[in-house]
Amino acid sequence: MHVVLGVSGGIAAYKAVLLLRLLREAGHDVRVIPTDAALRFVGAPTWEALSGHAVTTSVFEGTESVDHVRFGREAELVIVAPATADLLARAATGQADDLLTATLLTASCPVVMAPAMHTEMWHHPATVANVATLRERGVTVLEPDDGRLTGTDSGPGRLLDPEAIAAAALALVAPRGPRTGSLAGVRVVISAGGTREPLDPVRFLGNRSSGRQGIALARVAAERGADVELVAANVEPALLPTSGITVTAVETTADLHHVMTDRARTADVLIMAAAVADFRPARAEGTKIKKRADKTMIELVQSPDILRQLATSATDGQVVVGFAAETGDDSGGVLEHGRDKARRKGADLLAVNRVGNGRGFGDVPNAVVILDATGAEVATAEGSKDDVAAGLWDAITTVRNGRALVSGGDGHPNGHPAPDSTILR
């Protein structure tokens, strides 16, 4: 496969050398296109020796073969690592002032960008807007890692490890044979993980969801022949599938809301397995909040109810599934809260699971009670995450098969026929 590896000018450019080696060892033909600033961190001889191709940064070299157009047209995959704040801005605004940005404008293949920058730059509204623009245009912008940065800084903005970048990028172009199985021809979009809402450049409000259950749902759907996209909210790169499933990374509830609403236009099944923040800070501070007496209160505002919006706007035949992680409290038990949520959300199915004390979240067994939109129990599933995923897909398939036999819209809040609970048990 012909791969273009773009490298912009950040200290993390040294990691791109390891990424280049991984791609070459996997048998791919890799052409490195650095920026002028990148060559101040890693020189052209290194890129040329490891790639086997001459390296230039200018659109005025190779003019006889129109390289600034040819490289993008020939590429089957473009990876930019590191992608600095400057590179993201120039790509988002369509600039073509060097060979790398010109190549990005001519590439029609999948494009993956792995950002690396200081936390303040990653959270700056300009960068946030540029990333959103690129994602809207179909570019896969990976979430940076959280860890040690230049100097003594630490926080979100660290370049992902080369292995994670390679896995995410190659998954986008993995060959897919003819789909067979009970879900062949079905377009499935599944959210997984947990959203994070920034408080300041260092802190965020989040939750304990690892994304493992959503990933299991995606894996089982793919095994049954579905065309699957996993919308991953802050999932560890090592957990993500490396082939057969499209992965889109998001961070905040707003990011997730945007992607799921967009994908709902073409999906046959939507599953909201991600743990979504119900509230977010009214504003994210631009600098770290200091421990002072006047900073003891944080104003929160309510986040959009993504599951309810997906359920109420579902198209004919579309199945919407949600999750309810509950603990039970003085006002009611797990199932009581789950039934109330099922009626409020209006999803076709709601998987209710007890969490906490080593249950539900993380690499542990899971157990769910599956309710319909009226709050009635229609099935249960327990065991490993894959076992639960298989049980839920059995229930979803039953709903889809029932829709194929029943016409009309009676019995469901969003206009779909209600599932027959007797055949799901």
pLDDT tens digits along 38-93 = 999 999 999 999 999 999 998 887 666 667 788 888 899 999 999 999 999 999 99
Give the span between the Cα atoms of 336 and 326, in whole angstroms. Answer: 10
List, in sequence order, every residue forming a beta bridge with 228; answer none if it has no partner. Answer: 188
pLDDT value of position 175: 61
**Residue listed under structure tokens 């959203």:** 195
pLDDT top residue among 155 and 28: 28
pLDDT top residue among 172 and 216: 216
Q: Are 141 and 187 in contact (CB under 8 A)?
A: no
Active-site hit among 207, 234, 353, 366: 207
Select 1-173's CATH number: 3.40.630.30, 3.90.1170.50, 3.40.50.970, 3.40.50.1950.
3.40.50.1950
pLDDT band at 405 (very low <50, low <70, confident <90, very high): low
- Determine the average pLDDT of the residues in 264-268: 94
280 by Cβ neighbours in 10 Å (0-12 / 13-18 / 19+) ranks as buried
C-alpha closest to that of 107 among 2, 200, 260, 204: 2
- Determine the average pLDDT of the residues in 353-380: 79
- Tell how far CA 269 is from the center of its chain: 17
3-state secondary structure at position 155:
strand
Please give the share of the chain, as a percent, with pLDDT higher than 90: 58
3-state helix, strand, coil in the chain (%, to 5): 35, 25, 40
- Tell how far CA 414 is from the center of its chain: 27
Give the span between the Cα atoms of 397 and 402, in whole angstroms. Answer: 8
Statement: residue 417 has pLDDT above 90: no
C-alpha closest to that of 123 among 143, 93, 150: 143
Q: Are 155 and 119 in contact (CB under 8 A)?
A: yes
C-alpha closest to that of 116 among 217, 216, 15, 21: 15
Q: Are 189 and 231 in contact (CB under 8 A)?
A: yes
Select 178-425's CATH number: 3.20.20.70, 3.40.50.2300, 3.40.50.10300, 2.40.160.100.
3.40.50.10300
27: DSSP letter = T
- Determine the average pLDDT of the residues in 407-412: 45
pLDDT value of position 331: 79
- Beta carbons within 8 Å of 64's beta carbon, 6+ residues apart: none
The predicted-structure confidence for 291-342, as pLDDT tens digits, reads as follows 776 666 788 999 999 999 999 999 989 999 999 988 777 778 889 999 999 9
Statement: residue 406 has pLDDT above 70: no
- Whether 1-173 shares its CATH topology with 178-425 is answered yes
- Region of poorest pLDDT, from 7-11, 45-49, 151-155, 404-408: 404-408
Statement: residue 387 has pLDDT above 50: yes
- Region of poorest pLDDT, from 102-106, 381-385, 413-417: 413-417
List, in sequence order, every residue forming a beta bridge with 229; answer none if it has no partner. Answer: 189, 246
The predicted-structure confidence for 143-200, as pLDDT tens digits, reads as follows 888 887 877 777 888 999 999 899 888 878 866 556 668 899 899 999 999 999 998 8
What are the residue boundaries of the structural domains of the chain, listed by start?
1-173, 178-425
Give the span between the Cα atoms of 173 and 164, in whole angstroms. Answer: 15
Statement: residue 212 has pLDDT above 60: yes
Statement: residue 282 has pLDDT above 50: yes
Q: Does the annotation count 414 as an active-site position? A: no
